[in-house]
Amino acid sequence: MPFLEYASVYWGEHAKRGMTENGKALALRLLDRFDKHISAQLLLLCNRRYTGWSSLLSQVAGGPIGFTGLHEVAFLGIEEMIASVMEMRKWGVNAADCTGNTPLTWAARRGQEEIVNVLLERKEVNPDRADSKYGRTPLSWAAEYRCEQIAMMLLARDDVNPNQTDTEYGRTPLSWAAGSESERIVMMLLAREDADPNNAGSEYGRTPLSWAAEYGHERIVTMLLDRENVNPDQADIEYGRTPLMWASMAGREGVVRILLEQVGVNPDYAHPTCGVTLLLLAAVSGYGGIVKMLLEREDVNPDRADTEYGQTPLSRAAAWGHEGVVKMLLEREDVNPSRADSKDGRTPLSWAVRNGHEGVVKMLLERIDVGHDELARILP
């Protein structure tokens, strides 16, 4: 029944354009028993991206119990209906539905500003209640989805904790805002004295600066670094990477430039497990601009090999055929062009020949003296 599905999913869109008194009365009848109605099932199934509600068979017989008319109005953002629905009967305004979300959570996630405003006016509404699936507060969802006005309303409340980490990923609202480039929300959070910009959460142990650095959000990186108590070189727990390492891996030249100007940042940082350096990461990916910035530093060793395979930046750049990076490295007198990897004994020339990078082979042969026996050994 395609029309039933369409009506179930999109009736709210039509209602927001205008509703007659008769239509409003019919809508209230539907909402009064909504959690037992087929339209609730269809709405959730067609919005799996938000709901995660994927199988009717896994639900309680009779419908998605707990997804009430109030949850529906909050989900769809029907401003004309919220007041009437609230007056219709006594709702559990803090009750979680079958997806683990309260009406306020739905409104915050989907950017329904007027609904959030109405709900926050109710004294019994808990503005900091986390959903039961991900353990995320309304502020956390608003931060990720860049709902600035909603974040402002929530942060105006004294009973909203700006540092609360979720249970699924262990991230704070500031972490979500920094990763999703929500500049105004980051600014609002940093304006709160009780917001900790170094809070690394629990799951990945990554700071807001780390997330902003990876995604190349330069203005947010600058805002965070303007806080005196922000550690610019804090490595995460899960991967052992600093913000500069995340930025180098992702090729974020602007962020790398900003971080290299900070006191306390180690540009020659090596991963604690495999010994991979920032320069090696940039070299293997062919990020010439970042390689250039790092080579201009006196405190960066251009010939430092990792501890797992014993490969230098030149070795990895040659293997991948990044001619521009190879050229920059060969211009350094402190780079050994014949240095072999400690694990398999391959030289940069051997890697370049093996992978068919003729331009790199020519550059290396101009720099090193290769005997006939060695050339015969590495040539296919």
**Residue 136 shares a structural domain with residue 26:** no
Instruction: Indicate whether 173 belongs to any domain.
Output: yes
Instruction: Indicate whether 308 belongs to any domain.
Output: no
Range of the domain at 204: 127-227
**Separation CA 15–CA 339 (nearest Å):** 71
Q: What is the CATH number of the domain that holds 208?
A: 1.25.40.20
Instruction: Indicate whether 57 belongs to any domain.
Output: yes
**Residue 173 shares a structural domain with residue 120:** no
**Residue 96 shares a structural domain with residue 182:** no
Number of domains composing the chain: 2
**Residue 136 shares a structural domain with residue 119:** no
**pLDDT higher than 80, residue 107:** yes
**Residue 113 shares a structural domain with residue 168:** no
**pLDDT tens-digit profile of 185-224?**
999 999 988 889 999 887 788 999 999 999 999 999 999 9
User: What pLDDT score was predicted for residue 278?
Assistant: 96
The CB density around residue 313, as the number of other CB atoms within 10 Å, is 33
Per-residue buried b or exposed e for 209-225, using 16+ beta carbons within 10 Å of the residue's own CB: bbbbbbbbbbebbebbb
**Residue 7 shares a structural domain with residue 113:** yes
**pLDDT tens-digit profile of 261-310?**
999 999 999 999 999 999 999 999 999 999 999 999 999 999 999 999 99
Give, in degrees to the nearest 5, the angle at Cα 262 between 236 and 252.
65
Rounded alpha-carbon distances, angstroms, from residue 209 to 52, 231, 234, 277, 357: 30, 9, 9, 19, 38
**Residue 27 shares a structural domain with residue 110:** yes
**Residue 110 shares a structural domain with residue 49:** yes
Sign of CA dihedral 361, 366, 370, 375: positive
**pLDDT higher than 90, residue 231:** yes
**Residue 139 shares a structural domain with residue 116:** no
Model confidence at 56, pLDDT cuts 50, 70, 90, reads very low
**Residue 99 shares a structural domain with residue 7:** yes
**Residue 176 shares a structural domain with residue 203:** yes
**Residue 210 shares a structural domain with residue 146:** yes
**pLDDT higher than 70, residue 379:** no
Rounded alpha-carbon distances, angstroms, from residue 223 to 147, 164, 185, 197, 241: 19, 21, 11, 10, 21
**pLDDT higher than 80, residue 144:** yes
Boundary residue ending a domain (93, 126, 159): 126
**Separation CA 286–CA 290 (nearest Å):** 9
